[in-house]
């Protein structure tokens, strides 16, 4: 006779303010960021609250669709048998996100037609792990735009381009400061900050693509890592899979910069080096976050 899962008897909650008074039992959200980061099911036992094991295991449901996140356990009351998870309309999610991305693409195109600058399209050659270190209820974050799609902040692109200028191109400090500006540094004779000559826009995915893909880290010596080396690594430790979200290889993003004409070509070259040689995001030493230019 199969034993009952004791976790089934623990109360389940959605950690949102009581004042919201929301009924989540029939929620259909077209925003994957909300499903992944806000409506997370927790267990409540002896005044302690933590993410439920079922939510940890099933919260990212991968389907053979354009969008990876299509379901999550978000019932506001007690959960029944395993597998009884909310499944949102895949067509509706894809349709709404595509319309949002089309609107952003039109905004980018319209702005740069009027104001100058340059738009470029790059395609991922490996998975992109962006925002892993950001605050998240699952301790492993992901960079969701407020409208639900993955994106790369312009500040991250600016930092990567500067790293390319310093590490790969060996540019002089004067060249770098001309393009990127500088912060106050009295020791270097820079009492005041100075703005750079380039604006890096957020990079956004083009519409009509698969946007998310599940990846896994599998530490084989959890006791060794959790004890910070006090316990030796041992073969009898049980691996603990850690799932996290990525953007899949083959996804195309739109990159944009506005720059003074005197430095635009230089800034674009450094950005290209950053994308194609250094990579963007986390785990770049393992080959993540590399791109190739397609237009």
Give the contacts of 184 (CB within 8 A, at least 6 positions apart): 190, 191, 192, 193
User: Does residue 215 carry a pLDDT above 60?
Assistant: yes
Question: Rounded mean pLDDT of the chain?
Answer: 77
User: Does residue 230 carry a pLDDT above 50?
Assistant: yes
pLDDT for the residue 206: 96
Give the contacts of 258 (CB within 8 A, at least 6 positions apart): 112, 115, 116, 117, 198, 199, 201
pLDDT for the residue 88: 37
User: Does residue 109 carry a pLDDT above 90?
Assistant: yes
* Run of H or E residues at 267: helix 264-273
Closest of 295, 31, 259, 249 to residue 147, by C-alpha: 31
User: Does residue 205 carry a pLDDT above 80?
Assistant: yes
pLDDT for the residue 7: 45
**pLDDT (tens digit per residue) in 167-194:** 999 999 999 999 999 888 877 777 788 8
User: Does residue 290 carry a pLDDT above 90?
Assistant: yes
The domains of the chain are located at 1-88, 91-212+247-293
CA distances from 31 to 60, 75, 106, 150, 248 (A): 14, 17, 21, 11, 19
Structure tokens at 210: 């698969």
Average pLDDT over residues 87-107: 75
pLDDT for the residue 80: 29
Residue ranges with strand state E in 107-241: 118-124, 181-182, 194-195, 198-200, 204-205, 213-217
CB 24 within 8 A of CB 14: yes
**pLDDT (tens digit per residue) in 112-152:** 988 888 999 999 999 999 998 887 766 788 899 988 899 99
CA distances from 78 to 11, 47, 103, 216, 241 (A): 6, 17, 39, 29, 26
pTM of the model: 0.77
Assigned CATH topology for domain 91-212+247-293? Alpha-Beta Plaits (3.30.70)
- Burial track 233-248 (b if 16+ CB lie within 10 A, e otherwise): eeeebeeeeeebbbbb
3 state SS of 128: strand
Location of structure tokens 């007690």: 78
Three-state DSSP string of 62-107: ECCCCCCECEECCCCCCCCCCCCCEECCHHHHHHHHHHHHHHHHHH
**pLDDT (tens digit per residue) in 260-275:** 999 999 999 999 999 9
* Run of H or E residues at 108: helix 90-115
Gap between the Cα atoms of 149 and 67, Å rounded: 10
CB 108 within 8 A of CB 201: yes
Q: How confident is the model at residue 10 (pLDDT cuts 50, 70, 90)?
A: low
pLDDT top residue among 237 and 54 = 237
pLDDT for the residue 46: 56
Q: How confident is the model at residue 226 (pLDDT cuts 50, 70, 90)?
A: confident
Q: How confident is the model at residue 154 (pLDDT cuts 50, 70, 90)?
A: very high
Residue ranges with strand state E in 169-233: 181-182, 194-195, 198-200, 204-205, 213-217
pLDDT for the residue 236: 84
Q: How confident is the model at residue 63 (pLDDT cuts 50, 70, 90)?
A: very low
């Amino acid at each position: 006779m199969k034993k009952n899962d004791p976790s089934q008897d623990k109360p389940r909650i959605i950690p949102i303010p009581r004042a919201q008074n929301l009924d989540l039992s029939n929620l259909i959200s077209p925003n994957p960021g909300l499903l992944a980061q806000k409506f997370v099911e927790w267990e409540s036992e002896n005044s302690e609250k933590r993410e439920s094991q079922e939510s940890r295991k099933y919260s990212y449901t991968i389907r053979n669709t354009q969008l990876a996140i299509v379901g999550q356990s978000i019932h506001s009351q007690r959960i029944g048998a395993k597998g009884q998870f909310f499944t949102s309309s895949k067509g509706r999610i894809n349709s709404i996100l595509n319309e949002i991305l089309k609107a952003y693409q039109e905004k980018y195109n319209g702005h740069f037609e009027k104001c100058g600058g340059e738009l470029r399209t790059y395609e991922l050659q490996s998975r992109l792990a962006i925002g892993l270190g950001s605050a998240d209820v699952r301790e492993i974050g992901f960079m969701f735009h407020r409208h639900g799609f993955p994106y790369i902040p312009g500040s991250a692109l600016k930092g990567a381009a500067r790293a390319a200028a310093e590490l790969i191109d060996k540019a002089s400090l004067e060249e770098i400061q001309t393009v990127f500006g500088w912060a106050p540094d009295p020791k270097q004779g820079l009492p005041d900050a100075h703005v750079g000559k380039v604006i890096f826009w957020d990079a956004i995915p083009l519409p009509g693509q698969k946007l998310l893909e599940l990846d896994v880290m599998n530490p084989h010596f959890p006791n060794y890592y959790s004890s910070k080396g006090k316990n030796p690594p041992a073969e009898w430790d049980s691996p603990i899979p850690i799932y996290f979200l990525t953007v899949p290889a083959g996804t195309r993003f739109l990159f944009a910069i506005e720059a003074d004409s005197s430095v635009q070509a230089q800034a674009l070259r450094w950005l290209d080096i950053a994308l194609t040689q250094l990579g963007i995001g986390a785990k770049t030493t393992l080959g993540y976050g590399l791109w190739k230019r397609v237009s």
